[in-house]
A and B are shown apart, each in its own frame.
Chain A
Amino acid sequence: MSEIADKVKKIVVEHLGVDEAKVTPEASFIDDLGADSLDTVELVMAFEEAFGVEIPEDAAEKITTVKDAIDYIEKQKAE
């Protein structure tokens, strides 16, 4: 697992208070990890802070799974 993926996973565990085992790439924040819409707003803010990236609202709306978050951040970091 990449360093970014590892860090994303840690943030998700910390903010949603879920078991690490549940945080698979396919896991949906809302459907699988018990987040509500405010939780996802906070998650995106935590990603921005941790990785020093800007995630505009229209992009944030498309980040619904752990993999979505990892892919987006990896792409930003590569640019």
Chain B
Amino acid sequence: MRRVVVTGMGIVCPLGVGVEHVWKRLINGESGITAIQSFDTTELAAKIAGQVPVGSAAEGGLDLPEWIPVKEIKKMDRFIHHGMVAAAQAMADSGYVPETEDEKCRAGVMIGSGIGGLQTIYETAVMVHEGRAKRVSPFFIPAALINLISGQVSIRYGLKGPNHSAVTACATGVHAIGDASRLIAYGDADVMVAGGAEAAVNPLGIAGFCASRALSTGFNDRPAEGSRPWDKDRDGFVMGEGSGVVVLEEYEHAKARGAKIYAEIGGYGMSGDAHHITAPAEHHDGAFRAMKAAFKNGGLSPEAVDYINAHGTSTPLGDDLELEAVENMFGDHAKKVAMSSTKSAVGHLLGAAGAVETIFSILAIRDNVAPPTLNLHAPSRESVVNRVPLTAQERKIDVALSNSFGFGGTNASIIFKRVA
């Protein structure tokens, strides 16, 4: 099987736009969770979210015309905007520009989304409901379809290889990156632009997750404290938005062009719960099996892992079950590993979560630092696992594992390792 490495990264998230800017804020223990201002939350129990800050790229904010031609902006839902901006950063960072027809055909895209163009669907449905079906935009469908993020990125950069999208709720980001790495490993492509994009911080998205009792509602007056994985006072996840995109590349291909190599894929595993539409199974058996499959795939043992970026959403049930699965998976090594949930700072980016957390895991390897779990003052469950409470920890990190689990009982784990 061919080796796959990461040579470019891009982030749009509640801590801002740009990998270095976001990473610095994350390590400093800053939070991107704020009160929702962009729409009326009177009728909604959850009134906080992680929203992408508005502003110029120079100040780490999002100003769309800096990234996307004005004429194109209105043809895309906000989730595609996020994905395009993250992809632009990742492509520039990798420095890869396919020139020949063959190079173009060997480079593909697999960026997914959990939900896709929800706001666009909402606004268009209102028009139809009001008897204005004739006024529906010809761009409605291509603005809202999930795989159009992969389509738009391919058009922008002339990438004619595999064009695909993962859609596995909150596991989307890891599935997209993991599956894309397999396309390279199997020889279907030499380069894949992969990740997740989401924009569900809107009335329909918040109302829907409120109804499924998944969101935090007890910290509306203290937004930055709302996302508190493993803490005894946690009461649900805080919705985030944005995108993470990486450029994956076959190892020899990257070496031959002298590309900067961040890390190598060290294993990827998947599982299904076959249990419940939203709740994880007992002992988080699905998480355990996804991690086990990743180790088997990469030929690594759990003892190799230094850092885990947990799914850790801050929901009462899920956090402790994932912790239990990690303890079961790592055995004696559990006391030596550091595990944090960066959702404590950016919220839960749903289909983009696994992609953004992949980037955080890779940066943890690059800089030998574990980002913190904010707001973890008193864990509901004691454990030997160091959950990096409140402040970042400097430590040797050569191998990192990232978990993502989604509604429907879908689980994915991916491992990254330092390239010596």
B137 x A42 contact (CB < 8 A) = yes
**Closest residue of A by beta carbon distance from B142:** A38
Is chain B's binding surface mostly helix, strand, loop or mixed?
helix
B138 x A38 contact (CB < 8 A) = yes
Q: How many residues of A contact B (CB 8 A)?
A: 8
Is chain A's binding surface mostly helix, strand, loop or mixed?
helix
Q: Which residues of A contact B142 (CB under 8 A)?
A: 38
A17 x B135 contact (CB < 8 A) = no
A16 x B71 contact (CB < 8 A) = yes
Residue-wise interface mask of A (34-76) relative to B, using a CB-CB cutoff of 8 A (1 in contact, 0 not): 0000100110010001000000000000000000000000000
Tell whether B69 is near chain A: CB-to-CB under 8 Å: yes
Tell whether B139 is near chain A: CB-to-CB under 8 Å: yes
Q: Which residues of A contact B137 (CB under 8 A)?
A: 42, 45
Q: Which residues of B contact A41 (CB under 8 A)?
A: 138
Interchain nearest-CB distance for B75 vs A (Å): 8
Contact with A38, one of B70, B134, B139 (Cβ below 8 angstroms): B139
B69 x A42 contact (CB < 8 A) = no
Complex CA distance for A38 and B140, rounded to whole angstroms? 11
Interchain nearest-CB distance for A71 vs B (Å): 23
Interchain nearest-CB distance for B74 vs A (Å): 9
**Closest residue of B by beta carbon distance from A38:** B138
A17 x B71 contact (CB < 8 A) = yes
Complex CA distance for A45 and B142, rounded to whole angstroms? 17
Q: Which residues of B contact A45 (CB under 8 A)?
A: 134-135, 137-138
A49 x B135 contact (CB < 8 A) = yes
Instruction: Beyond A15-B71, A38-B142, list 15 extra A-B contacts (CB 8 Å).
Output: A16-B71, A17-B69, A17-B70, A17-B71, A38-B138, A38-B139, A41-B138, A42-B137, A42-B138, A42-B139, A45-B134, A45-B135, A45-B137, A45-B138, A49-B135
B interface residues (Cβ-Cβ under 8 A, vs A): 69-71, 134-135, 137-139, 142
13 contacts between A and B (CB under 8 A): A16-B71, A17-B69, A17-B70, A38-B139, A38-B142, A41-B138, A42-B137, A42-B138, A42-B139, A45-B134, A45-B137, A45-B138, A49-B135
